[in-house]
Amino acid sequence: VMTGACGESRPPLSPPALAAGKGLDADPARGRRLIAERGCVACHTVTGVRGPASNVGPPLHELWRQAYLAGVLPNTSDDLVRWLLDPPAINPRTAMPATGLQKADAEDIAAFLLSPDGARGRAP
């Protein structure tokens, strides 16, 4: 009985409209391109973005289903943007370096990562 609650049919923890970057002037397709261009896949596996098999950082698939980002922030698009801009400012013990992203870039990446379509490897 308990294992039935663990299936794929569970609802997302944050509303898809919020997760998809609603309220941000964001472009998830550009976010997907930025993930490849900025080398995020050197540390993270991202569904739909080609790169080396990497296990340095956590995989970033179905991020929209997670309750927390990096174990410390509620999973909202605004908090993901904050994290992407300067991870050590939020958690000084993180292995993720300051990214040097511009806010618009972080918003686009957040829109892709938090989009249910993006998480399945399709351009939203």
Between CA 17 and CA 38 the distance in angstroms is 26
Assigned domain for 83 exists: yes
Assigned domain for 1 exists: no
pTM of the model: 0.78
Q: What is the pLDDT of residue 124?
A: 42
Q: How far apart are the first and last CA of the chain?
A: 35
Q: What is the pLDDT of residue 97?
A: 94
Assigned domain for 8 exists: no
For residue 2, pLDDT over 90 is answered with no
Tell which wins on pLDDT, 103 or 24. 103
Residue numbers of the domain that contains 66: 13-119
Q: What is the pLDDT of residue 108?
A: 96
Task: Report the mean per-residue pLDDT for the chain.
Answer: 81
Assigned domain for 2 exists: no
For residue 20, pLDDT over 50 is answered with no
For residue 123, pLDDT over 50 is answered with no
